[in-house]
Structure 1
Amino acid sequence: MKRIYILLGLVLFTAACTSDLDQTPPNIANSASITDFKGVLNAAYFYQLSSVTPMAVMGDFRADNAKMVESPYTEFDVFTGNNLTQMNEQFFRPFYAALYKSILSANNVILNSTNATQVGEAKFLRALSYFKLVRVFGDVPVNLKALPLISDYPSFVRQPAADVYNNVIIPDLIAAKTVLSATRSTTGRVTKYAAQGLLGKVYMQMGNFILAEPELAAVVNAAGSPGSIDVTKFALKTTYASVFGSTNDLNSEILFATQISSSIKDEYAAVSASNFWTWYLGVDTKSISPVDPSLVTAYNANPGDLRKTWNIQVSGANTISPKYTKADGANQDWIELRLADIILLYAEALNENTNASGTNSASILSKLDYIRSRAGLASLSGTATTQAAVRTAILKERRLELAFEGQRWFDLVRTNTVSAEMGTSIASKYYVFPIPISEITASGNIITQNEAYK
Structure 2
Amino acid sequence: MKKIYILLGLLVSTIACNSDLDQVPPNIAKSDSLSDYEGVLNAAYYYQLGGVTPMAIMGEFRADNAIMDEAPYTEFDEYDNNLTDMEDQFFGPFYTAMYKSILSANNVIANSTNSSDILEASFLRGMSYFKLVQVFGDVSVILTPQPSIEEISNVDLTRQTVADIYNNIIIPDLQNAMSSSNVGVAAEALLGKVYMYKGDYADAVPHLEAVIANGNYELQENFNEIFGADNESNSEIIYAAEIASSIVDEYSFASRFWNWYVGDDSKADEPVDPDLIAAFDASDANGGGTDLRRAVTLNEDGTTAIKFPKEGGNGSDHDWIEIRLADIILLYAEALNETGSPATTVLPLLDDIRSRAGLTSLTGTATTQAEVRQAILDERRLELAFEGHRWFDLVRTGSVNAEMGQTINSDYYLFPIPVSEVLASFGVIEQNPGY
TM-score range, shorter chain: over 0.9
Check if 1:325 corresponds to 2:309: yes
2: distance between equivalents of 1:151 and 1:313?
A: 48
What pairs up with 1:265-304 in 2 under 5 angstroms?
A: 265-269=248-252, 274-303=255-284, 304=290
Give the superposition deviation at 1:21.
3.4
Contact persistence 2:67–2:272 (CA under 8 A):
yes
Q: Partner of 1:301: helix, strand, or coil?
A: helix
Paired position in structure 2 for 1:250: 233
- Among residues 341, 352, 361, which one is paired with 2:338 in the alignment? 352
Check if 1:438 corresponds to 2:408: no
Contact persistence 1:141–1:447 (CA under 8 A):
yes
Contact persistence 1:216–1:342 (CA under 8 A):
yes
What TM-score do you get using the length of structure 2 for normalisation? 0.94
What pairs up with 1:224-243 in 2 under 5 angstroms?
A: 233-243=216-226
Check if 1:61 corresponds to 2:61: yes
Paired position in structure 1 for 2:195: 203
Give the superposition deviation at 1:279.
0.5
Paired position in structure 1 for 2:287: none
2: distance between equivalents of 1:29 and 1:165?
A: 28
Letter in 2 for 1:409: W
1: distance between equivalents of 2:422 and 2:23?
A: 16
Q: Which runs of 5+ in 2 are unaligned?
A: 285-289
Give the superposition deviation at 1:314.
4.2
Q: Partner of 1:27: helix, strand, or coil?
A: helix
2: distance between equivalents of 1:197 and 1:289?
A: 34
Letter in 2 for 1:56: A
Letter in 2 for 1:142: V
Q: Partner of 1:452: helix, strand, or coil?
A: coil
Paired position in structure 1 for 2:159: 158
Contact persistence 2:15–2:26 (CA under 8 A):
no
Give the superposition deviation at 1:153.
4.5
Query: Per-residue CA shift, 1:283-329, capped at 9, x if unaligned?
Result: 101010100001000001122000001111245xx700111112262
Paired position in structure 1 for 2:397: 415
Paired position in structure 2 for 1:228: none
- Among residues 383, 406, 413, which one is paired with 2:388 in the alignment? 406
Give the superposition deviation at 1:241.
0.7
Letter in 2 for 1:371: I
Letter in 2 for 1:194: A
Letter in 1 for 2:303: T
Q: Which runs of 5+ in 1 are unaligned?
A: 182-189, 224-232
What pairs up with 1:15-414 in 2 under 5 angstroms?
A: 15-18=14-17, 19-79=19-79, 81-147=80-146, 149-150=150-151, 152-153=153-154, 155-177=156-178, 179-181=179-181, 190-223=182-215, 233-269=216-252, 274-303=255-284, 304-314=290-300, 319-327=303-311, 329-355=315-341, 360-414=342-396
Paired position in structure 2 for 1:229: none
Query: Per-residue CA shift, 1:311-370, capped at 9, x if unaligned?
Result: 11245xx70011111226210100011111000000000001123xxxx20221101111
Letter in 2 for 1:434: P
Give the superposition deviation at 1:28.
3.3
Query: Per-residue CA shift, 1:96-154, capped at 9, x if unaligned?
Result: 00110000110010001111111110000001101111000011000011107457546
Query: Per-residue CA shift, 1:189-234, capped at 9, x if unaligned?
Result: x4211000000000101111011111101101114xxxxxxxxx22
Of all paired residues, the percent bearing the same amino acid is: 58
Contact persistence 1:216–1:346 (CA under 8 A):
yes
RMSD: 1.6
Letter in 2 for 1:322: I
Letter in 2 for 1:365: L
Contact persistence 1:22–1:147 (CA under 8 A):
no
Q: Partner of 1:4: helix, strand, or coil?
A: coil
Letter in 2 for 1:286: K
Contact persistence 2:58–2:388 (CA under 8 A):
yes
Q: Partner of 2:238: helix, strand, or coil?
A: strand
Contact persistence 1:128–1:169 (CA under 8 A):
yes
What count of residue pairs does the alignment treat as equivalent?
424
Letter in 2 for 1:52: V
Give the superposition deviation at 1:158.
0.8
1: distance between equivalents of 2:236 and 2:97?
A: 26
Give the superposition deviation at 1:238.
0.8
Q: Partner of 1:234: helix, strand, or coil?
A: coil
Q: Partner of 1:298: helix, strand, or coil?
A: helix
Contact persistence 1:307–1:401 (CA under 8 A):
yes
1: distance between equivalents of 2:56 and 2:268?
A: 13
Contact persistence 1:341–1:398 (CA under 8 A):
yes
1: distance between equivalents of 2:67 and 2:262?
A: 12
Contact persistence 1:362–1:384 (CA under 8 A):
no
Contact persistence 2:123–2:183 (CA under 8 A):
no
Give the superposition deviation at 1:17.
3.2
2: distance between equivalents of 1:248 and 1:113?
A: 34
Q: Partner of 2:420: helix, strand, or coil?
A: helix
4+ residue runs of structure 1 moved beyond 6 angstroms?
Answer: none
